[in-house]
Structure 1
Amino acid sequence: MQTRRQLLHRSAVLAAIAALGPLLPSLAQAAEPLRMRTIPASGEMLPVIGLGTSRTHDISLDDVEMEALLDVLRVFVEGGAKVIDTAPSYGNADRVVGELVQRLDARDQVFLATKVSSTGRERGMAQIEASFKALQTDTIDLIQVHNLQDTSTQLGLLRELKEQGRVRYIGVTHYVESAHDRLLDVLKQEKVDFVQFNYSVGERNAEKRLLPYCADNGIATLINRPFTRGNLLSRVKGKPLPAWAAEIDASSWAQLLLKFILAEPAVTTVIPATSNPRYMADNILAGQGRLPDERQRQLIVEAFR
């Protein structure tokens, strides 16, 4: 039986989508709140579905597309998601995210994650201060050293900001499998709360050492490139969803890809980027319902070959 909280959550998702047009067919069956996982460093819980902003949020503040992005954020928040991942190197994304959150008055409902990608302490601090201004906040939930650029210097700076209470968590990132060994080396040498990297049906290297290390050492993980920038979805375009998808409460190919990732217990939150409110709703559904077992994960792998 659904709890009152579950019913309110479901109603919020339905209301958010109803305002955008015909409901996604699967929303009629959605009966669970968004799955949550723990940040090992603190015990704080995060929803497993987040939002990436690379490319999708690099627009001007007066662009007409801001309305669609506001709808994305509305569905995101009302669907129970929290983690928004952005970066100064994503063009205007920091400013766009800050403005959208301000317009929706949703700062207390989101977990803001950005990055630093500068060399040297002075430049790093200048970039970080610019992110505080762009995001329109006094506290940033997570700042990550982007692509391991000047890692030691920037992590030292981030630790100072964490001690001051301006930053809640710190981490490191990369987006290609060839950098996974470097990420591991950093994790063994530097204490961080989060690490962000690529992992998907098409890029499984993280299963070998990176994900197990994070699980064993209490490091939260953010997963980027879950669709390998759309390449995986292009492989199944026009194909009907297999009947066995219903066994894991999946109603789209995107949900299958996200559920494959979420079946790995060391994954904290996956952050697919989108500028489409309906895709945002579809992604949220991946964080509800059953997850695949090993047999079902193999079926997903085979479906995308």
Structure 2
Amino acid sequence: MPIGRRRVLEGLLAIAAAAFVPASTHAQAGLLARRIPSSGETMPVVGLGSWITFNVGDDTALMDECANVMAAFFAAGGRMIDSSPMYGSSQSVIGYGLAKLGNLESLFSADKVWTSGQDGPRQLERSRQFWGVPRFDLVQVHNLIDWQQHLETLTGMKAAGKVRYVGVTTSEGRRHDLLEEIMRMQPLDFVQFTYNVVDREAEQRLLPLAEDRGIAVIVNRPFQQGALTRRLRGENLPPWAKEIGVTTWAQFILKYIISHPAVTVAIPATTSVDHVRENMDAARAILPDARMRARMVSYVQAL
């Protein structure tokens, strides 16, 4: 990396670190949060996804396991839970967990619209009923489907106070050109896309653009749906990982993601209470600086 670019990134990382604030009065000491640019509201840097993991149908035992994951997530200071109509029974399972836990006020509900534009309002109402919330905090256009009509609808809902934030999503590195165009043209609060220590295309255009435009960034598929952590499982962590408080590969990956100054929150999905606690611990202690981030990339590339 050229010296000038490195110094700029180091400066940005220093600014980002200074911008971290306590996530909530309920969180364990040291949990980090970032501000949502369009409002200044704070968001813990690790959230909870529900793709596949919460799609358990109406099996009560499995639904209870998901509720336990949610309980551990909230106990650790988490706020954002993300879902979609595309995720099978995940929305109703989230609703089950929220009802069991008492519909915690700390929840930041993030859902999506995934249908034709004309059916958007009906789908959103069904989704809201599944969750059992009075309104969604954030609604995103899932994978840019019929994005123009949906954004028009969502912008109107936001103006009417029926949703607090509006965004768009993509995943697996798809349609970045169109996503970039939408980010430049539309007044978005959030954008969601894939980013991790090996999927780094977003560093070239999307992350700098989000920072420039004041758009909050949600990172999906941080572990490549588990493929990345499975690939690294048999490898040793570098001895210097302890310098940034890392004890597992999941924490290594999450630390890399959340240390980028444009990232607001990463949303790993899990069915394990131990894993959700492990993930939340990545949002504590020291974050890697620019030199350490480059070192992390080089180490993984060499494996």
TM-score for both structures, normalised by structure 2: 0.88
Deviation track 1:106-165 (CA, whole Å, cap 9, x = no partner) reads: 3312100000011132x1111111011111011100000000000110011111211221
Q: Does the C-alpha gap of structure 1 residues 302 and 101 become closer, same or farther in structure 2, counting only changes over 3 Å?
A: same
Residue 47 of structure 1: aligned partner: 44
**2:298 maps to 1:280:** no
Residue 117 of structure 2: aligned partner: 120
Alignment counterpart, residue 245 of structure 1, candidates 217, 221, 241: 241
SS of the equivalent of 1:172 reads strand
Q: Does the C-alpha gap of structure 1 residues 62 and 236 become closer, same or farther in structure 2, counting only changes over 3 Å?
A: closer
Residue 11 of structure 2: aligned partner: none
Aligned equivalents of 1:9, 1:156: Cα separation in 2: 36
Alignment counterpart, residue 87 of structure 1, candidates 74, 80, 84: 84
Deviation track 1:34-59 (CA, whole Å, cap 9, x = no partner) reads: 10100011110000000010000111
SS of the equivalent of 1:91 reads coil
Alignment counterpart, residue 35 of structure 1, candidates 8, 32, 36: 32
Structure 1 residue 304: Cα displacement: 2.3
Q: Does the C-alpha gap of structure 1 residues 176 and 241 become closer, same or farther in structure 2, counting only changes over 3 Å?
A: closer
Amino acid at match of 1:214: A
Q: Does the C-alpha gap of structure 1 residues 288 and 186 become closer, same or farther in structure 2, counting only changes over 3 Å?
A: same
Q: 5+ unaligned residues in a row in structure 1: which ranges?
A: 11-31
Residue 134 of structure 1: aligned partner: 130
**2:159 maps to 1:163:** yes
Q: 5+ unaligned residues in a row in structure 2: which ranges?
A: 1-22
Deviation track 1:163-193 (CA, whole Å, cap 9, x = no partner) reads: 2212110100000323111111011121110
Q: Does the C-alpha gap of structure 1 residues 117 and 238 become closer, same or farther in structure 2, counting only changes over 3 Å?
A: same
Q: Does the C-alpha gap of structure 1 residues 241 and 104 become closer, same or farther in structure 2, counting only changes over 3 Å?
A: same
Taking the TM superposition and a 5 Å limit, the aligned residue runs for 1:2-41 are 9-10=27-28, 32-41=29-38
Aligned equivalents of 2:25, 2:115: Cα separation in 1: 45
Aligned equivalents of 2:48, 2:277: Cα separation in 1: 11
SS of the equivalent of 1:274 reads coil
Q: Does the C-alpha gap of structure 1 residues 98 and 119 become closer, same or farther in structure 2, counting only changes over 3 Å?
A: same
Residue 265 of structure 2: aligned partner: 269
Over the matched positions of the two proteins, sequence identity in percent amounts to: 39
Answer whether contact 1:250 1:256 (CA < 8 A) is retained: yes
Answer whether contact 1:184 1:210 (CA < 8 A) is retained: yes
Answer whether contact 2:64 2:97 (CA < 8 A) is retained: no
Aligned equivalents of 1:59, 1:7: Cα separation in 2: 32
Answer whether contact 1:49 1:284 (CA < 8 A) is retained: yes
Aligned equivalents of 2:203, 2:27: Cα separation in 1: 33
Residue 22 of structure 1: aligned partner: none
Aligned equivalents of 2:73, 2:117: Cα separation in 1: 36
Residue 64 of structure 1: aligned partner: 61
Residue 72 of structure 2: aligned partner: 75
SS of the equivalent of 1:56 reads coil
Aligned equivalents of 2:174, 2:86: Cα separation in 1: 21
Deviation track 1:210-269 (CA, whole Å, cap 9, x = no partner) reads: 000110111001000111112211222133322211100111110000000111010000
Aligned length: 279
Amino acid at match of 1:117: W
Residue 28 of structure 1: aligned partner: none
Structure 1 residue 63: Cα displacement: 3.2
SS of the equivalent of 1:195 reads strand
Regions of 4+ moved over 4 Å? 5-8
Q: Does the C-alpha gap of structure 1 residues 129 and 288 become closer, same or farther in structure 2, counting only changes over 3 Å?
A: same
Q: Does the C-alpha gap of structure 1 residues 6 and 185 become closer, same or farther in structure 2, counting only changes over 3 Å?
A: closer
Residue 290 of structure 2: aligned partner: 294
Answer whether contact 1:33 1:80 (CA < 8 A) is retained: no
Structure 1 residue 7: Cα displacement: 10
**2:147 maps to 1:143:** no
Answer whether contact 1:48 1:270 (CA < 8 A) is retained: yes
Aligned equivalents of 1:186, 1:299: Cα separation in 2: 33
Answer whether contact 1:39 1:46 (CA < 8 A) is retained: yes
Structure 1 residue 60: Cα displacement: 2.1
Residue 9 of structure 2: aligned partner: none
SS of the equivalent of 1:241 reads coil
